[in-house]
Amino acid sequence: MTDESLKAVVLLSGGLDSATTAAIARERQFGVYALSFRYGQRHEVETAAARRVAESLGVVRHVEQTIDLRCFGGSALTGAIDVPKSTAGPPAAGGIPPTYVPARNTIFLAFALAYAEAIGSRDIFIGVSAVDYSGYPDCRPEFIAAFEHLANLATKIGVERGGIAIHAPLMSLSKADIIRQGLRLGVDYSFTHSCYDPDTQGRACGLCDSCHLRRRGFAEAGVPDPTVYAAPPLGA
């Protein structure tokens, strides 16, 4: 049972990482106040997934905020840039891919910080990982630490009530370990969505970086992947 007087704002995208993070916050006895965004992404599938996840986890409240990052562009997720796809698996570590959305996690955490102050929460959860990820600069531990420092300088609750904590419980976990953790906590991954470019039926493409990481995570965890993919698995 959660303690709803112990409130946490959880960024909930509808993907498996954020769903697992919300379940971890719940296990730590927080009342979960989920925050999702319609930010001009290529599809509505992930926001629908976020609603399913929020309902399945019994969050206290789920807020959906609209901010249209298409006005800036600069990303394959918000502009007229093709999502990279490959039959060979995720690319080797290297440059920042075009699916990076400029300053997205900074923007999302700023909204989460405002939400936390409004409800009297000192805890914010975000499902970033620096292990199996696409190389985004705003998924690194240095970024989380820097934002936490900013939060405690810039807010009333940070100054008067002893501080804001930014929790990133998946930071050092592989995708397989994240999935194992979520299954232990009862996360239903059939409700989640990870694909950057689903088809018109809402099926995951199976070829983008995010799909490859998801598929590999389930394979390494040794459990079935409930995702419906438009493309067959590698080697099929």
Structure tokens at 235: 């080697």
Is a pLDDT exceeding 80 seen at residue 233? Answer: no
What topology does CATH give the domain 3-221? Rossmann fold (3.40.50)
Number of C-beta neighbours around residue 98 at 10 A: 15
**The pLDDT of residue 107:** 97
Its pTM stands at: 0.93
User: Average pLDDT over the chain, rounded to whole?
Assistant: 92
β 61-66/165-167 pair status: unpaired
Distance CA 150, CA 70 (A): 26
DSSP for residue 161: S
Distance CA 207, CA 186 (A): 28
Is a pLDDT exceeding 60 seen at residue 235? Answer: no
pLDDT in tens, 132-177: 777 899 999 999 999 999 999 999 988 887 789 999 999 999 999 9
Confidence grade of residue 94 (pLDDT, cut at 50, 70, 90): low
Is a pLDDT exceeding 80 seen at residue 128? Answer: yes
